[in-house]
Amino acid sequence: MLVHFGIENIHPEWKSSTVVVGTFDGVHLGHRALISRTTDEAKKREQPAVIVTFDRHPATILAPTKVPPQIGTLEQNVINMRQAGASVCVILPFDRALSQVSAQRFLDEILKGCLRANQIVMGDDFAFGHGREGTPQWLAERIETAVVPKILLNGKRVSSSLIRQSVAEGKVEQAAEFLGRPFSIAGVVVSGHKRGREIGYPTLNLARSTRGLVPAEGVYAGSCRTPIGTFRAAISVGRNETFGENPQTIEAFLLDYPGDEIYGAPVELSFELFVREQSKFENLDDLKSQMARDVELSRG
C-alpha cells in the first residue's frame, strides 16, 4: 500500500464516491466544469463528490526548471473547490515516489481502494500515473468514466497557462473572464517604508508565503479582503522609482478603511482593472495628484 502518502489516515464512511483528479491551480472555469460534472454525477448516485489534488504542481518534481508560478495558493484553491461544490478535498504530496506510481496502482490503491470510487470524472486532455498512462480512454476500460470536454471562451481554450499569460501581461480583466472571478493574491501585511502615510495615502504592504503569479507592474483597481471586511483598493505593483527603490513591492491603499493597524493579518488583494503603468514622478505633489486620480478610479 502507498501508506507514505498519508492515505492510511483516510477512513471514509461512505460506500462509494465519484472522484475527479487534477492540479486545479486557480480553479478556473474549466476546473469548475469538472467539479460541477462531478457533483452532478455524485448526486445521481447519492454519494460524495471527491476531489483529489496535490500539494504542489507536478512540474516541481517532473520538470523543476519549468515550474509555472502558482495562480493561487493551496489554501485559495481548496476554498474555491469547496465553493464550487466539492464534498471532500484530498491533498496528496506530489513527490518523486508518487510520480513513479503507475496509473493502474493509482487507480486500484488510491481511487478505488482508499476513496471507494465507482466513477471517475476527467478532462478530455488529462492523464495520471507514470508516463501519463491513465488517459480517459484507458480509464474507461477499467471503471465508469465521465469525460468533460474543453471549455472555450471567446474562441480560446480556458487553461491555467492562458490565465498566467493574461495576468503577467497585466490583462487582469481577461484573466477574470477565464477564472470566473477576479485574480487575487493572498498574503500577510508587513511593515513598509511608511511613505504613503507621509503623503496622505497609507498603504498596506503584502508579503506572500509562496512565489506565486504577480500581475505586470502597474496600478490596478480592485478590492482587499481583511479580517474586518472587504474594502475597495488602489493597488500598486512596482518598484517605487520615485523614491529610487528597486525591489518589487505589492501594496494597496484601502478606501474608507477605518485605520486600525493590521500588521501580520491575512489579507487577499483582488485585481479587477488595469489603471495605468508605473511612472517616476518629478516631485511629491505630482505623485499625490496622480494617486488621488487612481483612488477615484478604484472607487468603482
Q: Which pLDDT tens digit goes with each residue over 72-88? A: 999 999 999 999 999 99
Among 157, 174, 199, the domain-final residue is: 157
Could you tell me the CA-to-CA distances from 35 to 40, 107, 180, 232 in Å, in that order?
9, 19, 14, 30
Q: Which pLDDT tens digit goes with each residue over 86-125? A: 999 999 989 998 999 999 999 999 999 999 999 999 999 8
Domain assignment present for residue 257? The answer is yes
Domain assignment present for residue 170? The answer is no
Amino acid 4: pLDDT: 47
In terms of domains, do 63 and 188 share one?
A: no
Which of 112, 156, 71, 157 lies closest to 148, judged by CA? 157
The residue type at 35? I
Full DSSP string of 75-104: HHHHHHHHHTT-SEEEEE---HHHHT--HH
Q: Which three cell numbers stand for residue 94?
A: 506530489
In terms of domains, do 202 and 63 share one?
A: no
Work out how many domains the chain is built from and give that number: 2
Amino acid 221: pLDDT: 97
Amino acid 244: pLDDT: 57
CATH code of the domain in which 192 resides: 2.40.30.30
Among 123, 157, 191, the domain-final residue is: 157
In terms of domains, do 126 and 19 share one?
A: yes
In terms of domains, do 16 and 117 share one?
A: yes
Burial class (CB in 10 A: 0-12, 13-18, 19+), 285: exposed
Could you tell me the CA-to-CA distances from 82 to 29, 32, 88 in Å, in that order?
14, 10, 8
For residues 68 and 220, give the distance between their C-alpha atoms in angstroms, rounded to a whole number: 23
Question: pLDDT tens per residue, the chain (300 residues)?
Answer: 344 456 778 889 999 999 999 999 999 999 999 999 999 999 999 999 999 999 999 999 999 999 999 999 999 999 999 999 999 999 998 999 899 999 999 999 999 999 999 999 999 989 999 999 999 999 999 999 999 999 999 899 999 999 999 999 999 999 999 999 999 999 999 987 666 565 667 889 999 988 899 999 999 999 999 999 999 999 999 987 655 567 889 999 999 898 777 889 999 999 999 999 888 877 777 787 888 888 888 887
In terms of domains, do 7 and 107 share one?
A: yes
Domain assignment present for residue 201? The answer is yes
In terms of domains, do 272 and 224 share one?
A: yes
In terms of domains, do 247 and 295 share one?
A: yes
**Owner of C-alpha cell 492540479:** 23
Amino acid 2: pLDDT: 42
Q: Which domain holds residue 230?
A: 182-299
Query: Going by C-beta distance under 8 Å and a sequence separation of 6 or more, which residues neighbour residue 61?
Result: 94, 95, 96, 99
Domain assignment present for residue 167? The answer is no
